[in-house]
Amino acid sequence: MSAPRQMRQIVTSALLAGLCLGSASAQAAVPIYADSFVSALNTTSFNSGIVVGAPDGGGQFLGDKFDPPTLQGSLVVKFSNGLIDGVGNDLFVVDVFNTATEVVNLSVSADNINYTFVGQINSVANQLDIAGAFTGAFYYVKVSNASTSFSMDVDAVGGYTAAPVPEPGTVALLVTGLAVMGLARHRRTKRGA
């Protein structure tokens, strides 16, 4: 087998592997955690105070620390790569001191201006299937306290289905692969001439 041809086959295999990885990570039911904190209203920090990333045992009370809350709190987090309504559950909220009495409303938005209510969960039944309540990619999720008796302590906010855009890694691999293939072909053509 000629060297350019061998190289081309290696590149093609790498390319296919990259594409498979890219599509697999877009569909797998692994949690995607919010990556940026956008805003909060009437929240009270506990432990780390962090509500983005994987659960770390700290976050924000929606309202204040003691029940019943004297204020109703809410917070907004962002998923930079976007989420969509996929098969089954789409969103979840992790809290630390969980009881089913801590109820929250979830709303989503593509622009952080117009929010659509997509459902209600509590600290125990903490998974939500958007089930058609919102269509298309959304980037912002608002968690609002829905109980005047109990405030939820939000540790992390997550989703499952990434918006269907090629991941930058896949695009980079595709561009690199095509460039190398083009180069190999170019060399072969020159050698043949």
Contact residues for Ca ion, defined by CB under 5 A:
50, 56, 58-59, 85, 90, 129-130, 155-156
Cβ atoms within 10 Å, residue 131: 12
Cβ atoms within 10 Å, residue 60: 25
What is the C-alpha separation between 31 and 26, in angstroms, rounded? 11
Minimum CB distance to Ca ion, residue 71 (Å): 21
What is the C-alpha separation between 129 and 88, in angstroms, rounded? 6
In the bound state with Ca ion, the residue whose beta carbon lies nearer, of 132 and 192, is 132
Instruction: Check if the beta carbon of residue 108 is closer than 8 Å to that of residue 116.
Output: yes
In the bound state with Ca ion, the residue whose beta carbon lies nearer, of 77 and 184, is 77
Minimum CB distance to Ca ion, residue 3 (Å): 50
Minimum CB distance to Ca ion, residue 136 (Å): 13
Sheet holding 36-41, edge to edge: 36-41, 74-83, 138-145, 103-109, 116-122
What is the C-alpha separation between 102 and 65, in angstroms, rounded? 12
In the bound state with Ca ion, the residue whose beta carbon lies nearer, of 11 and 162, is 162
In the bound state with Ca ion, the residue whose beta carbon lies nearer, of 164 and 182, is 164
122, amino acid identity: N
Minimum CB distance to Ca ion, residue 8 (Å): 42
In the bound state with Ca ion, the residue whose beta carbon lies nearer, of 11 and 104, is 104
Minimum CB distance to Ca ion, residue 184 (Å): 44
